[in-house]
Each structure stands twice: as C-alpha cells, then as structure tokens.
A and B are shown apart, each in its own frame.
Chain A
Amino acid sequence: MSQRAAWQLERLGVVSVHDFVDGKSYWIGSGRPTVGTIDLDARVLAHTSTDVSTVGPESTVGDVRPVVAADAHGLVIVVNDAHVILGTVRETTLVDAPDDQPIGEIMRVGPTTVRPDEPAVAVRERMATRHVSVLAVSRPTGELIGVLPASPIR
C-alpha cells in the first residue's frame, strides 16, 4: 500500500518521496514507541523476554550443551549473522549427538514464531492448548526479538 501512496505523492508533485517499506509492524517490533488508543500491554511484545540464548549454526554440540543447560527456558535459538531465526535446540535435541557436530545439522528447523503485535492472551491460549512452554517472537522479516513464556498474564 505504501508503494502506491509513494508513487501517487510523486505524481502529484512531491519532489522527494521515500517509502519506509518495513512499516509500522517493523517499527513496533523494534521496540519503538507509538502513539494512539491501543492497549500496548495486551500485545505479545509487552510480555516478551529478551533474556534468550542464541548460537550460530556453525556452533558445535559441545559448545551448545552448557548453553541449553543454563537457559531459563531450556531453549537455544539458532540465528544467522543477521539475527534471523534458523532453528531451535533443546536438551533432547542433543542426546546422542557427537560434541563436534555442527548444531545447524541437528537443530529443529522452521520453528513456529509469533509477531510482537499479536494479542498476548490469544497466543498464550494457543500455547496452552498445544502444550507449548515458550515461543520465539520475531519481526516479519524473521529477526529474533525475544521469547514469549507461557506463564499467565497477570
């Protein structure tokens, strides 16, 4: 939509038109402030923990074992250099894996993620139904923001 608006503004004589293509969703996902009537506390972002363990896909099983063991959620998220989510690892993922194996070869790929602007109550209801303890929160472009624990909203 913003692309069409940008072209229309230019057609009508505005000399310098720029399109912030990632839009309001990306702005919100980046933790930037907004203005309006919405209840921000109702959003996933307000309940997202940034205390999350990450490793690169080239990390070895031996590197990742202590990271998983120490993580508050028992979860390590595998990200690339752009911080885009590639997969997840739990202790069960590492059972019987040799210490020198790259984690990218055994991670669980394509984990379910949620957007920061989704309603937290509805997301946590889905998590409870599916017995999910924690979910990765990402921007529309795939970058990790944090994790949403399943604990109830107070």
Chain B
Amino acid sequence: MPTDISLSTLDRLLADGALLIEVLPAGEYEEEHLPGAINLPLKTLTAERVAEVDPECPVAVYCWDAL
C-alpha cells in the first residue's frame, strides 16, 4: 500500500537514494520540477514504462498539491 509522506520524510528518502517521480504532464515538468525528479506522467504509467524503474528501489511520487 502506498504511504503518504511529508516533506521531511521525502528529504530522508531522497538522502537514502529514493527515485523521485513527477507524474504531471511533460509540459508542466519541463516548466518546473523538483531537483533530481524524472517525469513519468500518470497517463503514461503502463507496464512498459514502469519497467524502466527498478522495482526494488523506493519511489516517491508527487503532483501539484494534495487538492
């Protein structure tokens, strides 16, 4: 089950080597994203695309906000 995390927990995960993924569309990612984040838009999250991700590596995803 995915875990909701705060900013401080995100900091810790990233320090430990987690993969950061922005799931917003590519245009929004190009305009502005968090340092180190890759872009896998929600609409592209197919098995083929997700196969690019190491399944054993912790992953943190984000979009614009919680609303």
Contacts and interface: CB of A to CB of B under 8 A. Distances in A.
Contacts, number: 136
A35 B35 contact: yes
B33 A35 contact: yes
What is the interface of chain A mostly: helix, strand, loop, or mixed?
mixed
Which size bracket describes the interface of B in this complex? Answer: 35 or more
Interface in B42-63: 42, 45, 47, 50, 53, 55-63
Contacts of A20: 5-7, 10, 60-62
Given A5-B23, A9-B45, A36-B31, A25 B65 contact: yes
Interface of B: 1-7, 9-10, 13, 18, 21-24, 29-35, 40, 42, 45, 47, 50, 53, 55-67
Q: Which 5 A-B pairs have the closest CB atoms?
A: A6-B2, A36-B32, A5-B23, A25-B65, A16-B58
